Amino acid sequence: MSSPIINDDQWLQLLEYVAETYSDVTLSRGFTYFKQQRVASLIISDTRVVQAKVEEGESGNYRVTLNLDKPRSSQCSCPVPASCKHMAAVWMELGDRLGYPASQIMNAKMHLKRITSTTSLESTLLQLPKMDVSGWQKFLNHYTSLIKSTYDLGNYVDMLRKQLQNITKITIPFSDKDQIFFDMHQELFILRKLKEQNVQGGVSSYTSFTLYRVYDEIHTWLKQKSPLLNFSVAGVRLEQTLSYIRQQMAEESGHYYQDYGVYTALWKHWVAPDPEASHYVTKEIEALETMTVDSPSPSLSAVKAFLYLQQSRSKDAWEALEENGIFKEAPAKLFIPFFDYLYDTQNWEELVNWLRRSASFFNRKRTKELDVYADLWTKAIVQLPQAEEHMWTVLEELLPYSFRIIEEMLYEQRKWKPWLEMQIIQGHDPLYHRVNVLQPIEKETPKLLLPYYHQAIDHYVSLKNRHDYKLAVRLLKRLDKVYKKMKQTERWEHFFSGFVERHSRLRALQEELRKGKLLG
């Protein structure tokens, strides 16, 4: 035949007929007959009428007549007046022979619902470019509504991402600009869903890890995509996005500051490069000043302060931070965007001012924020050497958390004397370090190493066991090199002869000295 007996549209019409007239029980029984191959014969006439025979075992056979053009006029010779299991089995056999899955007949209602859902989804997806970003967020919420949170929030994020990846299977007529913004709002959506889980289930360390991982991924993404964005055509979407994040911050309580961090990162990578950045500053401050009256959120206050700083209103910025009653409990990470902005604009005096004023917020267990804080101090004093005294004062105030930082700074700045004093305070000795650590000191001021070596040697000898004697000998051999660096061989010989005489009764030590070729 030149044309198919049933085309796709006719098949869908048949499914609609079956869904309306056959019960689920009848279809299930018909499917059983189909699987048992009880449809013994099936003939299709030129008039599109199907004649079939269905075997019923001891009850004999039943004859089924199906009319493809008028399915409601179809008949069966069994006692059931219409829509029986025998007719259902023949419909399935017919579909199978014509290349359509029999399971679609058995699950006609579900299959039609799925088709309708897919069609509706495609229609909605095609409307996305016309929606604003709040419409995108509503769509994403509906699209992932069947994804339920689990205790493993990392797995929950993976399931959300997998569901969202299905969107890419349909071509959406996004412009390049809108595609970037839509992709970003998918990331913001995932962050929002995680925050919702925090509110519902409480925050655990595991939850926080997932939350901060997603937060860091957004930061990285914003930085990577920035060069691809044409700011001259991004205005409306950018304003919508800033408004969306502001609303998220207004709903945020406590000191999480995830949305604040996203906002400041968005500003740094997407807004600041825009020639019209000052225009956005003014508009955003106006919006924030209105919002903070109605929603005194810590995040909103922090963002307002951050934008005041863009206008060189440092005093107003600090006051904006303090206007929130729980400012003193704010985490150190709150200040990093302020520091970054002042560093990027090379406003060194103001950077030092903010580093000094915020010092108490970093007086906590060493974190990456404290490392960033200390690094900014070192960069600032390169430009403002007169601020170095303030830096050391602040770092001393942050002890004990700043201990390692001070130690590293002293070494980097080749301040060997205080660095060695810190080693002695910690109970370290020259063997604690790799040889190359002490090499710069041996080269520049070897004299400073003498107390460090002598104290360690006396300590190991006082322990009076062979293992520590061996360590003492190792140190003596290195001390010999130090004296040679100082060109004071006679002083070494005088010390060493006195050392040997003092410990002449320690036979094990004398043996180790000989093994080390320090004694003949």
The amino acid sitting at 166 is N
> Residue 206 has what pLDDT?
47
In this prediction, residues 506-518 reach a mean pLDDT of 95
Going edge to edge, which strands form the sheet with 61-67?
A: 39-44, 49-55, 61-67, 75-76
Cis amide leading into 400 (omega within 30): yes
pLDDT > 50? residue 483: yes
pLDDT > 50? residue 1: no
Tens digit of each residue's pLDDT (9 = 90 or more) over 15-41: 989 998 999 999 999 999 999 999 999
Band (181; pLDDT cuts 50, 70, 90): very high
Query: Dihedral of CA 77/79/80/86: which sign?
Result: negative
Band (203; pLDDT cuts 50, 70, 90): very low
Supply 205's token pair.
């360390």
Of 66 and 327, which is predicted with more confidence?
66
Mean pLDDT (the chain, rounded): 89
Of 321 and 293, which is predicted with more confidence?
321
> Residue 146 has what pLDDT?
80
> Residue 254 has what pLDDT?
64
Band (2; pLDDT cuts 50, 70, 90): very low
pLDDT > 60? residue 207: no
Band (199; pLDDT cuts 50, 70, 90): low
Of 229 and 16, which is predicted with more confidence?
16
> How far apart, in whole angstroms, are the C-alpha atoms of residue 264 and residue 337?
6
Q: Cβ of 361: how many Cβ atoms within 10 Å?
A: 19
Chain CA centroid to CA 121, Å: 28
> Residue 326 has what pLDDT?
72
> How far apart, in whole angstroms, are the C-alpha atoms of residue 380 and residue 374?
10
Name, in order, each residue with C-beta under 8 angstroms of 359's C-beta and a sequence gap of 6 or more. 394, 397, 398
In this prediction, residues 124-149 reach a mean pLDDT of 88
Supply 468's token pair.
């520590």
For the range 356-365, what are the long-range contacts, defined as Cβ-Cβ under 8 Å and sequence gap of 24 or more? 356/390, 356/394, 357/318, 358/332, 359/394, 359/397, 359/398, 361/330, 361/331, 361/332, 361/334, 361/335, 362/332, 362/398, 362/401, 363/397, 363/398, 363/401, 364/332, 364/401, 365/401
The amino acid sitting at 89 is A
Burial of 352 (0-12, 13-18, 19+ CB in 10 A): buried
In this prediction, residues 345-372 reach a mean pLDDT of 93
> Residue 357 has what pLDDT?
96
| 217-239 exposure pattern, b = at least 16 Cβ within 10 A, e = fewer | ebbebbeeebeebebeebeebbe
Tens digit of each residue's pLDDT (9 = 90 or more) over 424-466: 999 999 999 998 999 999 999 999 999 999 999 999 999 999 9
Phi then psi for residue 128, to 5 deg, are -55, -40
- Strands 49-55 and 61-67 come out as antiparallel
The alpha-helical segments, DSSP class H, found in 295-414 are 298-310, 314-322, 336-344, 348-357, 368-383, 388-397, 403-412
> Residue 3 has what pLDDT?
59
Q: Which of 108-112, 222-226, 462-466 has the lowest mean pLDDT?
A: 108-112
> Residue 118 has what pLDDT?
62
> How far apart, in whole angstroms, are the C-alpha atoms of residue 195 and residue 248?
10
Phi then psi for residue 63, to 5 deg, are -100, 130
Tens digit of each residue's pLDDT (9 = 90 or more) over 232-256: 667 889 999 999 999 998 887 666 7
Q: Cβ of 67: how many Cβ atoms within 10 Å?
A: 14
pLDDT > 80? residue 151: no
pLDDT > 90? residue 67: yes
Chain CA centroid to CA 244, Å: 20
Of 137 and 111, which is predicted with more confidence?
137
> Residue 204 has what pLDDT?
45
> Residue 231 has what pLDDT?
65
> How far apart, in whole angstroms, are the C-alpha atoms of residue 222 and residue 511?
66
pLDDT > 60? residue 497: yes
Of 112 and 339, which is predicted with more confidence?
339
Q: Which of 109-113, 318-322, 370-374 has the lowest mean pLDDT?
A: 109-113
Tens digit of each residue's pLDDT (9 = 90 or more) over 279-297: 889 999 999 988 877 667 8
Please state the pTM of the whole predicted model. Answer: 0.70
Supply 330's token pair.
């704010």
Tens digit of each residue's pLDDT (9 = 90 or more) over 382-401: 999 999 999 999 999 999 99
